[in-house]
Amino acid sequence: MVNDLLARYRALGLFPQALIAGATFLAIYTPYLYFVSHLTPLQAVRISLSSSLLFLSVFYLTSVILARKRAKMWTQQTQTAGIVPKKGLRKR
């Protein structure tokens, strides 16, 4: 069951992954602020919304940067290994 959920999560694009991560952060952090920090419900929601938006943006930007680096490393490895890309993927 967990493997199936992880496989579905990985099949999504970067932005939907970031949205799910941000929503999970929001769902956990709001009750934490309310019960542990003893804030009013409105204060807890405001702080958790701003924090989850920050988390979402950092998660997305980091994922994009890492995806680009992985793609760049993969192309360098295939070029040094002598692997010829398929006909439609060649650079001219």
Tens digit of each residue's pLDDT (9 = 90 or more) over 36-74:
999 999 999 999 999 999 999 999 999 999 999 988 887
Cβ pair 40, 30 in contact under 8 A: no
Alpha carbons 8 and 5: distance in angstroms, whole number: 5
User: How far is residue 20 from each of residues 33, 57, 76, measured CA to CA in Å?
Assistant: 20, 12, 32
Q: What is the pLDDT of residue 71?
A: 86
User: Whole-model pTM?
Assistant: 0.73
Torsion 78-83-89-92 (CA) sign: positive
Q: Is the pLDDT of residue 91 over 80?
A: no
Mean pLDDT for the stretch of residues 19-48:
96
Mean pLDDT of 16-39: 95
Q: Where are the domains of the chain?
A: 2-83
Confidence check: pLDDT of 29 > 90: yes
